[in-house]
Structure 1
């Protein structure tokens, strides 16, 4: 029989006797643990969800890796590369690459009778992965291509449609400035809304053959190649390997290939997302500190209230280590109850937000219209294990108070 555990259970679960100090101390300690763990669960779920949603939107517009002309600048008026079947086969044979697609861009000015707006016409073909845009499609349908003729259908954002008063089925003129001004008439077949204002206000998706004709390119020339990888965690390594592989290749015009990951293309966004990890660490440390010191206060109160009992146990031959174990068991019971309620509160709020999206955000600032939630079982388990371990370690210090209690004086303690 575990004597220390038996005494601890009697102390914690016994509802008889005059215990005026212990119940408030227990409640305060439990509330501290519960609120601390709930805040930690919410912090981790929100930050992971936020990073995942923003990252997926950036990847949705630009995929994981882009291969373009080494001589390109940062504008959307690009120098083309020739995309050959040999290059396609080499990329498709790479086990890290899940999908290959090509694109071409052309800056222009979208004009209506009342207004105009600068846009980038992004040409894609039948190989384009529409998963992201289908998820964010508000009206109409994605582009469908006829192999025998160029399509005039385009996909525009809800931002542009609202700004320029356009709706599904409307047509508009777009002006492209080069050596001469060219005008094209397009028909709106679909309207999308991602909430990522930086891209929503910019991109209009069209048939890549329209962009090739505007740029005067051959049928195999593109602005770049977009690649999706199987494992995002291996993105940096895959991009690095591909960079050195492509460094030894040139297209039929002698152009060199330039490989960049989505992190290289959007360094400010991904650096900002990385900074959020620091915020989570700060929150976790603060919450653990608050919960821990609350538990320390509660344990000290319990020890002081049980001074008489400690003296009796010492007089009966119990050593300091054994009595400390008793109060560490009591601490474990308190922390366990607090964590139970903390999990209930934290998970309940996460489920409420993920199903109702009651907490809204300004998409022009945060790129999302509601607070995102992504709470995995792994994160939840690690948070609970970490909270329990750190809280119990913090209890070791105040438990040393027991070694300073004298049996002769403590038995007379009231």
Structure 2
């Protein structure tokens, strides 16, 4: 039988005199651990939800990796690159690639009777993954984009619709300026999307890739580039290295040079900002662990002082300091364990409430989301529990040595 564990259970389950100082001390220590853990869990899940929500929106506009003409990566002008079936097959065959989709860009102006707006037309075809657009579609529908004919349909953002006072079903003229002339096309608004990412919402509208290629005057197998989706975002750099070795610096049949970049390289400011959020989480976790640790130290010292007579009796009966220390450390484990259970229940309860009700709202113009996003990551929560338990016990080892200074003879008269 584990003697320290047995005694610790007896002490913990002893209701005894409710006027004892140790009872509120135990409650405060338990509450300190619970609140600290709940705050840590909520902080981690909110930051993960926020980071992944913003990341997914940025990726939705440009996928994980873009393969383009090397000149297009170095300036704002549009340079075509050949993305034919053989190149698509090469890209699909690269390790870590899940999906390949072509796109073509064309700058233009949307004009109504009262206003006009310069935007980027992004041509997409039937191979394009439109789940992102569907998730952020506010009204209307996503047309079946074609790579062989022009339907003259547009999906614009809510920002564009508001500025030009357009709605689904309206028709609008678009003007495209080239070196030699100005081309005009009449489009019908098929859908309106809203991601709250102002930088992108005020820039991109979607149409057929066939239309964008023809407006650029390119060949049928030319386009602005290909967007690649990877199977595992955490291995993005490894996948890009494969693309660099297989595709980069090769020449297409028109003499253009292939190059690639990741979505992180294309939007360094956004991802650098998201990475800064990790620092906030570490600071919060450190503060909360300190709070839990100090409350546990205070509680343990009070319990040791109140149990001085018991410690003296155990020593008189032959118990070693090590045995008694282990007894009180086991007692601390019971308090911490109860605090962890309460903290998990409190933290997860609040997280699920926010996740399924959207109770706390945010200003999308500032935070890019309408409500506080939540991502419940069970492995992270388990790790936080384990780390909190280990650190809380570790900081109690030094205070437990107070037991070695308690002498049996003196403790018999201690009250």
TM-score, with length taken from structure 1:
0.96
What is the CA–CA distance in structure 1 between the aligned matches of 2:385 and 2:284, rounded to whole Å?
A: 15
The equivalent of 1:139 in structure 2 is 139
What is the SS of the residue equivalent to 1:168?
coil
Q: Which residue of 1 aligns with 2:206?
A: 205
CA displacement 1:183-227 (0-9 Å, x = unmatched): 221101111112222211111100112212221111111111111
Instruction: Compute the displacement of 1:74 (Å).
Output: 5.7
How big is the shift at 1:247?
2.8
Q: CA deviation at 1:123?
A: 0.7
Q: How far did 1:84 drift?
A: 2.4
Aligned residues: 414
Q: Where do residues 84-95 of structure 1 align in structure 2 (5 Å cutoff)?
A: 84-95=84-95
Question: What's the RMSD between the two structures over aligned residues?
Answer: 1.5
Comparing 5-14 with 36-45, greater Cα deviation is found at 5-14
Q: Is the 8 Å Cα contact of residues 77 and 105 (structure 1) preserved in structure 2? A: no
Q: What is the match of residue 412 of structure 2? A: 411
- The residue that corresponds to 1:225 in the other structure is 226
Matched, 1:13 2:13: yes
Aligned pairs (5 A) from 1:341-380: 341-380=342-381
Helix, strand or coil: the match of 1:150? Answer: coil
- Residue 3 (str. 1) matches residue 3 (str. 2): yes
CA distance in 2, matches of 1:31, 1:147: 62
**CA apart distance, 1:7:** 1.7
- Contact (CA 8 Å) 2:94, 2:242: kept in 1 or not? no
How many angstroms does 1:117 deviate by?
Answer: 1.9
Residue 176 of structure 1: CA displacement? 2.1
- Partner SS for 2:129: coil
Contact preservation (8 Å) 1:77, 1:106: no
Instruction: Find the residue that maps to 1:79 and give its secondary structure.
Output: coil
Taking a change above 3 Å as real, the CA distance of residues 221 and 3 of structure 1, as seen in their structure-2 partners, is same
Match of 2:126 in 1: 126
**Cα distance, 1:147 vs. partner?**
6.5
Shift in alpha-carbon separation, 1:385–1:371, aligned structure 2, 3 A? same
Aligned residue runs from structure 1 range 35-184, under 5 A: 35-73=35-73, 76-145=76-145, 149-179=149-179, 180-184=181-185
Secondary structure of the residue aligned to 1:10 is: helix
CA distance in structure 2 between the aligned counterparts of 1:210 and 1:201, rounded to whole angstroms: 21
Deviates more, 1:36-45 or 1:178-187: 178-187
Asked whether the 8 Å contact 1:76–1:105 carries over to 2, the reply is no
Which residues in structure 2 correspond to 1:183-198 (within 5 Å)? 183-198=184-199
Aligned counterparts of 1:334 and 1:178: Cα–Cα separation in 2: 74
Counterparts of 2:337 and 2:144, CA distance in 1: 58
State the TM-score, normalizing by the size of structure 2. 0.96
Supply the distance in 2 between the matched residues of 1:37 and 1:341 (Cα, whole angstroms).
Answer: 9
Distance 2:147 2:107 in 1: 25
Aligned equivalents of 1:280 and 1:390: distance in 2?
17
State the Cα distance separating 1:155 from its structure 2 match.
Answer: 0.5
In 2: Cα distance, 1:31 partner to 1:248 partner: 61
Q: Deviations over 1:327-364 (max 9, x none)?
A: 11110111111111100110001000100111112222
**For 2:47, what is the secondary structure of its paired residue?**
helix
CA 237–18 in structure 1, closer or farther in 2 if over 3 Å, else same: closer
Of 111-120 and 289-298, more deviation after overlay is shown by 111-120
Aligned residue in 1 for 2:395? 394
Map of 2:335 onto structure 1: 334
